Amino acid sequence: MVELNDVEMKEVDPAAPTSNIPNTTAPSKDEKKDANTLTLDDIKEQVRTIEKAVNSKEPRYILRVLRALASTRKRLNEDVIRRLICFYYGSNSNEREILLGFVQSISQPMDVDTGKTSTTTEKQLTSRPQTSRARAVALPEVDLYIHLIVLLHLIDRNSLKTALDCAKRLVDKTSVLNRRTLDLLSAKCYFYYARIFELNNMLDTIRPFLHSRLRTATLRNDFEGTAVLINLLLRNYLHYNLYSQAQKLVLKSVFPDHASNNEWARYLYYLGRIRAMQLEYTKAHQNLLTATRKAPQQTAVGFRQDAYKFLITVELLLGDIPDKAIFKNPQLKRTLDPYYQLRLAVRAGDLSRFKEVLDAFSERFQQEKTWSLIIRLRHNVIKTGIKMISLSYAKISFSDVAQKLQLDSPEDAEYIVAKAIRDGVIEASINHEQGYVQSREIIDVYTTREPMSAFHQRIEFCLKVHNEAVKAMRYPPKKYQEELETAQAPKLAPVREFMTALINIGKKLPHVPTKEKKTQNLISEMKRMNMNLPARVWIPFYKFPHHVVRIAYTESTVLNSRDRAPYIVYIEIVLCDNIFASPLPIKQNESKLRSTRSEENLTDHIINHQPTSVSGAIGSYLNCETQSLDSELIDSYRSFINSEDADIWSTSDEVTADDQQQSQSQSQLQLQLQLQSVSRRNGLIGYRSNHTMNINPETQSIRSTESHLSQQEIMPSEIRKRLTEVKTTGPILFDRDPDDPSAATLKEPWDKKEQRIRQASPYGHLRNWRLVAAIVKCGDDLRHELLAYQFMVRLKEIWANEHVPVFVRPINILVLSNNSGLIEPILNAVSLHQIKKNSKLSLRNYFLREFGTERSEEFLTAVKNFVQSCAAYSIVCYLLQVKDRHNGNILLDDEGHVIHIDFGYMLSATPKNLGFESSPFKITQEFVDIMGGLQSDMYSYYKILILRGLLAARKHMDKLMPIVEIMQHGSQLNCFSKGNVTLGLRERFHLNMTDEQLEFNVEKMVESSLNSLTTRVYDTFQYYTNGISK
């Protein structure tokens, strides 16, 4: 039995020595050695894991080693690293000397202070047998791992210069090795390599190396290396605010799906920052939010802090208020305090408090790279302040608004309030005369409709889904089956044949020598097509259902083109309810039309009577003083009346009755063209509406309608006077030029053309009769035109929604093949080339001639239309890089609008692939003269419209870019043949510029375009080679 004895407790003298008292708090020297030995053993275990990964070819083991690297790094010291190096490298190894030199550079000062070295280390340095075999089995993976440990310790000890040398040596090793087991280790080496250069402020010097390694990693399918290198390059660009370069990298590279969550978090963080700077706040918010969720929640505290700073800023820019719980997080509370103050200022709409926050934390915001985003919040603060004022005051003056919001002037307050009303922020009305804003009384200022509207939207969505589900479960109705039956392919065969016939004519015309003969051949072909009409065919790009009943073949004209022969055709249609089911009109015989005395049968009456009588009638007519017709008209009559080539359009040698009739009609058509030409030249087209030319078959003389009714009342001098008035007061009418037959055709007003053709048509009596036109073009790829059309349609919608008063006229395109199609013509518009060639006037004088004096309302309206359309097409030509902008491709309509056509050369495609036209867009001195000169208000208005249009387009860039991006993938179009077109298009939106910088850039673009030498040289080149007026 153990005997228990009491123990006497004695007091200890404080002055007595304490050597006999055991110290339980201070570790002994042996315990220190055990800690270093334990760390070294852990590293050796990690090395064995690496060897296992190499032998089994399992990268997951190396991934386990890299995960443990963070905890190992905290326990490193010089003693552990020396023993590690000496254990794995022999005494004669060059690597051993170099690594020990790196360690010696940071441990030498410590050795001098102590005055002695550790004898334990010297003993343990030789603890492993130093055999040559032990050195020979060292793996490259182990070598990189040891070098990486040394580099981490140098960074922790702030030995940056030595760490820089070690990092260079480390990446040199990775560059010469090609082992899949090295991929994860190499990625980690690249990360710390970039980190040490960043600490040495030399981050820009490694950009080429990172690009080179990225290409290598991509070729080797090194997913982790690719992800790390992309993130390093993005960090590199963002460090120097190179957002456009970073965006290029994002577009050109593909981030691997198999990358780790940490790398995905970093990539989404950088992507969110890029998109935030590009005003894509919604996408930026999604990216940043996903980055915070993918990031480690406990270890990567610094990363989460940075991500939340940008996330909060972007959320405020979106008009939302961040959740208060974010700012209460213990890991984020201290660092996010300035952003919490920012949140309070924005939520309250307090502009003074917002300025105080900016003044207090401006340096910190700039250091954290959020400054450029935070200054954009001023508009949100003002918007919230206006909303609070509108809720607080039923009526308030602009001076009080300016005082409360600390604006510069009441005018600024008036503009901001008006914009808030337009954007739907507040519901109020403005009294500009008395200078106040009044809230609408019907609204309860203490309630908001936002929850109710959101509730209604959700209900509507649910009801829509329910209705669609019920509809999908039903059997198809009979009407649906009928629509399916009518959509059979045979039903479309006629319209396909009709389109094919039009295209085939366009392919034949280029082989005809002159434009005059081309036009004659075209008219003959169009008349032949009328033999198969009416038919169940239609023009597809016109949306309303209709049937084609006749082609006004005498109006068909070949357009200007050097190598090809596009032509315009005027088509008579009748509207219908159903293209496939509605009955067709009864075919009308052309001969029945002779009794109408219309313009198309004018030559029939001339030919059907004695030529000598007609010639005599013409001679007697000319003997009068009403010489409105010149000798050319007489020559035209006589040449056709006495023509011996009656069978010029005959298809056989035997002259049958039908052939003779067809030949006679061809001669009549040619005569009519000559009549129209001379009539236009003498001003008779404008006079024709009230004084139509008729042939009296009984007297065989030509006279005006009024003179036929009363020969005594109207004297020849009066007729001359009326003709002179028509010439001087009406719009300029162009002569029919054999080299440019389309000028006179296109210049004729559409309503008069439609009325004239309807009177001449056997179908004109139908109530649902309409006239449409189409341009048939062969030899060009109209897919370029279609791309431009889609881009301009979206731009037009954007400008309309943003209330930018500019004018753009997208042209409908029907692509039938890769080199043919139909184009919708612009009505009442002629090219600048045709204007200058036929009117012999400058553009400003032409405006004065067409629209009246400078102070007339019509002239001022036309100039305003000219400026608004010039601004719109300047933006279109700049964004799409449209080339070949000579005066033949620029139209002017009867309201003064400029309209660009022919977008065959845009983006990367240029005429002859020379890239000659270098100006952003075309603006000439003649354009400026119409605006009133360089110092005029309209010229300043033109530049303002370009700025507003670009700002609106930049704001909605995400709606424009997909149009081009979708077309680029796998496309064979010439406009995508050179470089990455979408990158260039994105750069031209200038997302990295502030509004002030963009305004300055617009000034530079307008000035460079106005003074462009290449524009003038290209116009001169077109003048001498193609005869296009400059």
Q: Computed from CA positions of residues 345, 351, 352, 354, in that sequence, does the dihedral angle turn out positive or negative? A: positive
- Look at the chain and report how many structural domains it folds into: 3
pLDDT band at 267 (very low <50, low <70, confident <90, very high): very high
Task: Say yes or no: 1001 and 857 in one domain.
Answer: yes
**Polymer length in residues for the chain:** 1030
Residues near 598 by beta carbon (within 8 Å), at least 6 away in sequence: 759, 760
Helix (H, G, I), strand (E, B) or coil at 875: helix
The yes-or-no verdict on residue 913 having pLDDT over 90 is no
Q: Give the model's pLDDT for residue 699.
A: 34
Cα–Cα distances in angstroms (integers) from residue 646 to residues 166, 521, 643, 651, in the given order: 98, 15, 7, 12
Last residue of a domain, one of 122, 155, 188: 155
- Residue 874 is predicted with a pLDDT of 95
Least-confidence region, from 131-145, 535-549, 622-636, 800-814: 622-636
Confidence at residue 735, expressed as pLDDT on a 0 to 100 scale: 62
Q: Which of 564, 596, 729, 599 is closest to 673 using CA atoms?
A: 599
Residue 429 has a pLDDT of 76
Supply the pLDDT for residue 703.
34
712 against 863, higher pLDDT? 863
* Average pLDDT value for residue range 559-587: 88
pLDDT in tens, 608-637: 333 333 333 333 333 333 333 334 333 433
Q: Is the pLDDT of residue 457 over 50?
A: yes
For residues 918 and 390, the model is more confident at 918
3-state secondary structure 1001-1016: HHHHHHHHHHCCHHHH
Label residue 737 by pLDDT band (50, 70, 90): low
Quote the pLDDT of residue 501: 92
Pair (858, 999) in one structural domain? yes
CB 620 within 8 A of CB 634: no
pLDDT at residue 218 is higher than 50 = yes
458 in any annotated domain? no
Strands 546-551 and 428-431: unpaired
Domain around 628: 590-665+686-720
pLDDT digits (tens, 9 = 90+) for 471-511: 766 655 656 555 555 555 677 888 889 999 999 999 988 88
Q: What is the pLDDT of residue 640?
A: 37
Q: What is the DSSP string of 380-432?
A: HHHHHHHHHHHHH-SEEEHHHHHHHHT-S-HHHHHHHHHHHHHHTS--EEEET
Give CA 903 to chain center in angstroms: 15
Residue 201 lies in a domain: no
Q: Which pLDDT belongs to residue 297?
A: 80
Confidence of residue 845 (pLDDT cuts 50, 70, 90): very high
* pLDDT value for 251: 86
Q: pLDDT at position 84, please? A: 81
Q: What percent of the chain has pLDDT over 90?
A: 17
577 and 807 Cβ atoms separated by less than 8 Å: no
Instruction: Tell whether 869 and 1004 lie within a shared domain.
Output: yes
Q: Is the pLDDT of residue 133 over 90?
A: no
The torsion angles phi and psi of 688, rounded to 5 degrees, stand at: -70, -25
Q: Does residue 650 fall inside a structural domain? A: yes
- Does residue 527 fall inside a structural domain? no
Contact 361, 338 (CB under 8 A): yes
More confident of the two residues 126 and 246: 246
When mean pLDDT is compared across 37-51, 651-665, 753-767, the lowest value belongs to: 651-665
Whether residue 129 is preceded by a cis peptide bond, meaning omega within 30 degrees of 0, is no
Question: For residue 983, what pLDDT is reported?
Answer: 87
Q: What is the pLDDT of residue 63?
A: 82
Q: 152: burial class by Cβ within 10 Å (0-12, 13-18, 19+)?
A: buried
Residue with more model confidence, 619 or 384:
384
- Say if residue 856 is in the same domain as residue 989: yes
**Confidence at residue 503, expressed as pLDDT on a 0 to 100 scale:** 92
pTM here?
A: 0.47
Q: Which of 49-58, 303-312, 662-671 has the highest mean pLDDT?
A: 303-312
pLDDT-derived band of residue 756, with 50, 70 and 90 as boundaries?
very high
What pLDDT does 123 receive? 43
Identify whether 760 is part of a domain: no
Given a cut of 70, whether residue 15 has pLDDT beyond it is: no
Say whether pLDDT at 675 is over 50: no
Q: What is the pLDDT of residue 634?
A: 36
pLDDT averaged over every residue in the chain: 76
pLDDT at 160: 82
* Shared domain check, 714 and 840: no
- Note whether 713 and 845 are same-domain residues: no
Q: Is the distance from CB of 62 to CB of 185 less than 8 angstroms?
A: yes
Is the confidence at residue 570, as pLDDT, over 90?
yes
Which of the four pLDDT bands, split at 50, 70 and 90, describes residue 372?
A: confident
Percent pLDDT > 70 in the chain is: 75
* Residue 912 resides in a domain: yes
pLDDT greater at residue 691 or residue 31: 31
Place of tokens 């006239």: 771
Q: Rounded to a whole number, what is the distance in angstroms from the first to the last CA of the chain?
A: 127
Alpha helix stretches (DSSP H) within 852-994: 857-880, 925-931, 937-955, 957-968, 981-987
Query: Is residue 382 a part of any domain in this protein?
Result: no
pLDDT at 688: 35
The pLDDT of residue 113: 39
Which pLDDT band holds residue 738 (cuts at 50, 70, 90)?
low
Which of 95, 127, 155 terminates a domain? The answer is: 155
Tell me the CB-side half-sphere exposure of residue 264, using CA atoms within 13 A: 13
Q: How confident is the model at residue 768 (pLDDT cuts 50, 70, 90)?
A: very high
Q: Is the per-residue pLDDT at 966 higher than 60?
A: yes
| Tens-place pLDDT, residues 868-877 | 999 999 999 9
- Is 260's pLDDT higher than 70? yes
141 part of a folded domain: yes
Quick one: pLDDT at residue 426?
A: 73
Specify the pLDDT at position 393: 75
- pLDDT (0 to 100) of residue 196: 85
- Calculate the alpha carbon distances from 340 to 312, 330, 334 in Å: 9, 14, 10
- What is the average pLDDT across 19-39? 55
Q: What is residue 651's DSSP assignment?
A: S
Render pLDDT for 401-455 as a digit per residue (tens, 0 to 9): 777 776 767 777 777 777 777 766 677 777 777 777 777 654 454 455 667 777 8
Tally Cβ neighbours within 10 Å of residue 740. 24
At 272 the pLDDT is: 92
Same domain? For 712 and 849 the reply is: no
Pick from 155, 171, 187: which residue ends a domain?
Answer: 155
